[in-house]
Structure 1
């Protein structure tokens, strides 16, 4: 985010504060509770969201040298991403073309090949099978017929995107509209991965993301953690196509009123939340980043997998730095997992109780409304596209 944009947004936040207001939607929004527990809805989302759109895998720091690889199974498809010798990225389904064994686990570094741990079939870093083994046992087949299944992969401004479906040429080249320039100014390619946690939770994946989309609950739910840090009941929301930005000002932003605009630093005095469609949040936290990636648990509408990764401006090399980032990780887990997700668990139970047919999002919750509207539109577009292709 460049400085003129920061100044513009600080002025908008001050204007909201002076009016005693916040970003508002045009009207309240009713969201059917069925979208949180319906198996058919989950099937539509798996095909129309997670199967149709590129998914953020993480930052470039996860693959910072030739031969570095990263595996990811959260979308339901086993994926491996590899940094090639020329610096480009390759992505494949992480499955041997012989008997379907998993090729690699976790993350690490490959010298020049992937070797199947089951029967030793070997692939180069471009996914090409080197030799059919044992020789003479696969007459009629060529190596090229058993290359790894490639997946579209795209890297831009330090963000790595992969489409989980093969054959979607160019589909991972995901436009970020106006946010593309903003991501460039954040210099995400310079950040270092500090720690990752994976949480398996008993509620719908959308429920997990919803807790980040408003701060009206802070004075009630987060009194022991972060409520004292943020101004209550004010935030600035803006949509960018399917994506969005939500700014929650810290109390310290009030000190900028006594400073000239050329000294204003929005990023230091706010939590800036970027929603990257369909399932990712990038949280700018003053001097570091959190990235939350949330996925539905396969065939289980009422459960999800939430991964949080903490990225730091540079690799932690001292005990003091490690202590600082450990404290930040502890606070985020106490706040989100210990407070927000505890309520989310009860919400999922309430949704299943039959107490109501809809959840109500107020005008003061425009980010929540945007999130569900773009999901509905994407699924509608997917159905229309399928029906057109059948004609």
Structure 2
């Protein structure tokens, strides 16, 4: 029995019994609810910012932009990595964009307030016009941060399990892929999908749609359609390259080349793809030659932001040979098609979700991670348990009332 098979047996699998049902249709089209979910579900969760290779040297930084918030991770001159809200303490101007290197200080582009790499406020232009100002109390707001296998995550609202605790034993599956050695393939791909963020998450949480929705994957891989999930909402499934050559040339070449070219990995790892999801909105796709992060962020009731960085494996000398580039090209070609298929599927669901008379259907045992996700939404935002949408402008008030009802008496 392989380590992957043994670990899978120790995790929670699909639950049998009464059929579960999706969230009410109105919850996939409400701007008010999307804002509430952002505050109560996204902000208290771990969110991916960058790979450790992007912030290796003093002054290196990377940012993460979400619905209302921006965070910056930066390497100090002392070698420490820190995370802060990417907002000037004067009048809230955003400080840094994208990623890069900041030599010396971080200077606000609005009025010139400047901060050092520890977040301390160092200079205020015309400081004499701020009588009694205490610079030591106006440093950048720190943000909780944790690194796992070279992946840098932040959590704006602190508390709850650590990143390592959240992954638990599932993190051990990542070790053979040596993710910390990979490097960015380029700038993250960022786009808007015309669907509610939960539709995209639902899609990412199940493999039930793979045989029909992703014929390329079905030709290429033997996939576990159920997968496993732990109590913190981290799910994963294992897919293995098929021995039978695919009828598609790119898939067929990948099947042949990946096991041959990636000689530094053990033979099992060269043939195995891992698909992770982490509650509430992150997918992590691990391949022998590369990996990507699929980060789904609320935007409006019927749209979401897709953030999709890709990282590739150099060889032991830190170089990417022609053969490796071919393998990585083939992978990206295959997965670009899968991404396009996922987008079309999710936007089709959005078109049908708000149709007159639609009622949520039952969920398969293969969709047990979707059930877990919906239960997390229900716990944070109990207003979603109402079958009909609350009157416009009352979603937050109704949710607060329901939370108060569940709160134990003092």
TM-score > 0.5, shorter chain as reference = yes
340, 343, 357: which one aligns with 2:342: 340
- String of CA shifts for 1:5-49, please: whole Å, max 9, x gaps: 135369x7xxxxxxxxxx743143211223312344323311221
How many Å separate the matches in 2 of 1:228 and 1:249?
A: 11
* SS of match in other structure, 1:334: helix
Match of 1:63 in 2: 55
Distance 1:184 1:271, change over 3 A: closer
1:25 maps onto 2:15 in alignment:
yes
How many Å separate the matches in 1 of 2:161 and 2:4?
A: 29
Match of 1:245 in 2: 236
Q: CA deviation at 1:137?
A: 1.5
- Cα contact 2:226–2:365 (8 A) shared by 1: no
Match of 1:120 in 2: 112
Q: CA deviation at 1:83?
A: 1.4
Match of 2:3 in 1: 5
Q: CA deviation at 1:379?
A: 4.3
Q: CA deviation at 1:390?
A: 9.1
- Cα contact 1:203–1:344 (8 A) shared by 2: yes
Match of 2:131 in 1: 139
How many Å separate the matches in 1 of 2:271 and 2:327?
A: 19
Match of 2:392 in 1: none
- Cα contact 2:107–2:114 (8 A) shared by 1: yes
How many Å separate the matches in 2 of 1:112 and 1:171?
A: 35
* SS of match in other structure, 2:190: strand
1:41 maps onto 2:33 in alignment:
yes
- Structure 1, unaligned stretches of length 5 or more? 13-22, 256-262
- More divergent stretch after superposition (239-248 vs 317-326): 317-326
Match of 1:301 in 2: 301
Q: CA deviation at 1:123?
A: 0.5
Distance 1:200 1:283, change over 3 A: same
Distance 1:107 1:97, change over 3 A: same
How many Å separate the matches in 1 of 2:201 and 2:348?
A: 15
- String of CA shifts for 1:50-70, please: whole Å, max 9, x gaps: 122232223322322221101
- Cα contact 1:71–1:79 (8 A) shared by 2: yes
- More divergent stretch after superposition (316-325 vs 65-74): 316-325
* SS of match in other structure, 1:127: coil
- Structure 2, unaligned stretches of length 5 or more? 246-254, 256-264, 383-399
Q: Between Structure 1 and Structure 2, how many residues are aligned?
A: 364
* SS of match in other structure, 2:375: helix
169, 188, 200: which one aligns with 1:208: 200
What's the RMSD between the two structures over aligned residues?
A: 3.3
What TM-score do the two structures reach when normalised by structure 2?
Answer: 0.78
